[in-house]
A and B are shown apart, each in its own frame.
Chain A
Amino acid sequence: MHHHQVLAMQQCNRPLQLSQLISCTSYSSQNVQMIHTSLCASRPALNASLRTQQCQVPRISHQRRRVSNSRTGAEMEELEDVDLSQLDEEDLDVLFEEYGEVVLTDGKPRPVASDVDDDAETLTFAIALAEAANEVKGAEIQVLFVKPLIYWARYFVLATAFSKPQVDAIGRRMRDMAEERFDHSPRGDTKPNSWTLLDFGDVVVHIFLPKERAYYNLEEFYGNATRISLPFENRVVQ
């Protein structure tokens, strides 16, 4: 629990008052499901040990309230004075099956291999971007695999350029290559900047000038991310 408490409010019929941050486990079931009771937030793990997410459900109030299930109309009673944090995975699964409501499903179960395939495609994209930077003589190019740390991106590509025209050239090269081969267009800085960011969705590219690279030090911040080895030799900043 961090000291910034977030109140997640749901617009639903249940009068549950949630007073603590809820972070949900990603259930290992194959279907993509959204749990109706709360917003799933994944924490970026800066510690290597924090790989799996713990489900911390707060204590529900004493009162016995009758809550109507909106879909079936059947009434069900609230759990009375149960310390849910003591329950383990199987009990929580049982509770979920009994009281949880599936709001959105994928339809068919997703095969396990599809995640790996998605990653492989994104990885080729990231390496292609790194190669584009290398062709324009970018230095200290690194590709970081950040998927285990953050949920909003899979790979980061970091590069150093020595002047703004070079930043512009790298950016243009990457954009053209992405359009041609992968049909992705980026959001982000259009004008060259001392820290230029190109957001391709799953892959985020950061192009720095040497001073800014040292100043922001993203490698230290994402120190737990695995570095992907690149098929070319890296130039060093002198």
Chain B
Amino acid sequence: MIQTQTYLNVADNSGARKLMCIRVLGASNRKYAHIGDVIIAVVKEAIPNMPLKKSEVVRAVVVRTCKELKRKNGTSVQFDDNAARVVINQEGNPKGTRVFGPVARELRESDFTKIVSLAPEVL
């Protein structure tokens, strides 16, 4: 359940370290973002000498949440941190080349199979 002002870790090697959500995309006045949703975020912390800098506004996909994700078969998955993956451009291609940490397979249903194919582990 990511909302405005939420700090998220960055799960790829695009250059950012932390993002703060400033808007949840999907509908007007939408309150929360879950795994597989796109948010608009601002870079709050970045690695030096990389293309992404602090206070840049970017779009990102949420890949892990501390709020548990319930599946239809009755199981649920919960991660230890909130993390997002930085997505470039209106085309939707990821900015980084590798993803860190596990991701949930619900991303595949939201048409983010590109992120899933770069992930080291899919839960």
Contact = CB atoms under 8 A, between A and B. Distances in A.
Interface of A: 2, 4-11, 34, 39, 41, 43-44, 46, 150-152, 156, 187-189, 193-195, 197, 199, 204, 206, 212, 215-218, 221
A188 B91 CA distance: 12
Interface string B74-106: 111111110000000001110001100110010
8 contacts: A4-B64, A4-B79, A8-B78, A151-B122, A193-B93, A197-B114, A204-B117, A215-B97
Contacts of A34: 73
Interface residues of B, number: 30
A187 B105 CA distance: 15
B116 interface: yes
A204 B98 CA distance: 18
B120 interface: yes
A6 B79 CA distance: 5
A32 B111 CA distance: 28
Nearest to B79: A6
Contacts of A194: 91, 93
A11 B76 contact: yes
Contacts of B117: 156, 197, 204, 206, 218
B113 interface: yes
Contacts of B64: 4
Given A6-B79, A195-B114, A46 B93 contact: no
Contact of A4 (B68, B76, B101): B101
B11 to A, nearest CB: 10
B50 interface: no
B31 interface: no
- Smallest CB-CB A-B distances: 3 pairs: A4-B101, A39-B75, A7-B78
Given A9-B76, A10-B75, A216-B97, A152 B116 contact: yes
B68 A6 contact: no
A44 B78 contact: no
Given A9-B68, A41-B123, A4 B114 contact: no
Contacts of B123: 6, 39, 41
Contacts of A5: 80
A143 to B, nearest CB: 15
Nearest to A41: B123
Contacts of A4: 64, 79-81, 101-102
Nearest to A9: B76
A204 B102 CA distance: 20
A1 to B, nearest CB: 12
Contact of A2 (B68, B101, B118): B101
A195 B87 CA distance: 13
Given A44-B120, A193-B92, A10 B74 contact: yes
